[in-house]
Structure 1
Amino acid sequence: MKRGAVIFGGLALVLIAMVALVVQKEAVLARGQTVLLQLAPVDPRSLIQGDYMVLDYAISQSWREGHEAPQEDGNVVVHLDEHGVGTFVRYEKSGTALAPGEVRVRFRVRNSRMRLGAESFFFQEGHAERYEQARYGELRVMDNGTSVLVGLRDEKYQPLGRAVR
C-alpha cells in the first residue's frame, strides 16, 4: 500500500510539472511580444534527429565583438527597430529600467556560450529548402525575459514555412 502511494505520488508530481511547463509556454505564446533576432550561419542537418536547423543568434556572439562575455545566467537587453529586430544594447543589471523600445531576453551561459534557449528549429523531412533563406528567429518574449521560438523569417521579415496556399 505504501509503495503504491509513493509511485502514484511521484507520477502525479511529474504530471503536474509537465502541465505547469506547458501552461507557462502557452502563456508566453499568447501574451509575449514578438522579437526578431538575427541569425548567424549554422549547419542545418542531423541524421539522428531528422531535419533541423541549429540556430545561433548574432546577439549571442556580441561578446566576440568587443563586449564583455557574460559570466553567469541573466538577461540581455535588446533594442527593437521598426521591423521588430533586436540588437544588443547591454547585459541587464538589477535595478536598471528599460528605455522605450528595449526588451529583455533571458539567457544561460553553457560551455562559455550564451544560450537563449531556442537553439534548434525542427522541420518536416524534405522541407529544408523552405528554411534556407532564414535570416531571423522569431521569438515571443514576456516582460521577465522568458522566450519561446515560434518561427523563422527571411531577409524581408516574411515568415518561412507557413502552409503553401
Structure 2
Amino acid sequence: MLLLSGGLLALVESRASILRSGTEVRLKTVPVDPRDLFRGDYVVLAYPISTVDGGAGVSYRRGDQVYVTLAPDAEGFARATRVDKARPSTGSVMIAGRVLSTGACALNDAGVADCASGSRRLRIAYGLESYFVPQGEGRAIETTPRARIEVVAAISAGGEAAIKRLLIDGKLVYAEPPY
C-alpha cells in the first residue's frame, strides 16, 4: 500500500514541479472541441508550434520523439525556431513532443491552412492539447475567437510541459493549481 501511495505521489509531484518551477511561455491557441461525454467539459487546443518545418535532410516518422526550440516573437508568444531528434544542449527553452504526422499543413496568421511546405512539415503533440474546464464552460471557450485565447505553459528543463493558465484577452480565466 505504501508503494502504491508513493507511486501516486510521485506522479502528482512531477506535474506540480513543472508548474512550480518550469519556464513559462505564452502560446497562441485555436480551440477545437468543447466536451466529452465521459470526461466532462474540456477544450482541445491547437497551437502554431504544433506544426513545424522539419528541415531538409532529416527524416521523421510518426511517433518519433522530437525537441522543439522556442523563442518569443515580437508579441511575446513562443514560436518554433528549430526541431531536433536529440535534445539540444543549448540554454534555449525547448519543449518535447511526439510526431503525429508528416506533410502537415500549418495555419497562417489568418487561420487558414497553408500547405506550401509539403512533406517537410511535421504535426507535433506536446501533451498540451486538452484542457479540462468547469462543467458547462467548454462551449463558451470554443466560441471565443482564437485571437483572444492564449495559454501560459510551464516547461521543465527536460522539455516536459503543462498548462499553467488559460487567458482570454490577456485576462486570467483559469489557473491550474499545482496539486
Query: Which structure has the highest strand share of the two?
Result: 2
CA apart distance, 1:47: 2.8
Alignment of 1:153 with 2:167, yes or no, is yes
Counterpart amino acid of residue 127 in structure 1: E
Alignment partner for residue 124 of structure 1, among 134, 141, 144?
134
Q: What residue number does 2:120 align with?
A: none
Q: Give aligned-pair identity as a percent.
A: 27
Classify 1:96/1:127 alpha carbon distance in 2 versus 1 (closer, same or farther; 3 Å): closer
Q: What residue number does 1:28 align with?
A: 18
- Mapped contact 1:51–1:128 kept (Cα < 8 A): yes
Greater mean alpha carbon deviation, residues 140-149 or residues 44-53: 44-53
Alignment of 1:87 with 2:79, yes or no, is yes
- Mapped contact 2:100–2:125 kept (Cα < 8 A): yes
The higher relative CO (CA closer than 8 Å, separation ≥ 6) is in 2
Alignment of 1:78 with 2:70, yes or no, is yes
Question: Where do 5+ consecutive residues of structure 1 fail to align?
Answer: 1-10
Query: Which structure has the highest helix share of the two?
Result: 1
Q: What residue number does 1:8 align with?
A: none
Classify 1:30/1:37 alpha carbon distance in 2 versus 1 (closer, same or farther; 3 Å): same
TM-score when normalising by structure 1: 0.72
Q: What residue number does 2:156 align with?
A: 142
Counterpart amino acid of residue 27 in structure 1: S
Q: What residue number does 1:18 align with?
A: 8
C-alpha RMSD of matched pairs (Å):
2.9
Instruction: Measure, in 1, the Cα distance between the counterparts of 2:97 and 2:44.
Output: 17
TM-score when normalising by structure 2: 0.67
CA apart distance, 1:37: 1.6
Instruction: Measure, in 2, the Cα distance between the counterparts of 1:98 and 1:161.
Output: 32
Larger radius of gyration: 1
Classify 1:77/1:69 alpha carbon distance in 2 versus 1 (closer, same or farther; 3 Å): farther
- Mapped contact 2:67–2:87 kept (Cα < 8 A): no
Q: What residue number does 2:37 align with?
A: 47
CA apart distance, 1:26: 1.3
Question: Where do 5+ consecutive residues of structure 2 fail to align?
Answer: 103-122
Alignment of 1:114 with 2:127, yes or no, is no
Q: What residue number does 2:113 align with?
A: none
Instruction: Measure, in 2, the Cα distance between the counterparts of 1:69 and 1:55.
Output: 27
Counterpart amino acid of residue 95 in structure 2: V
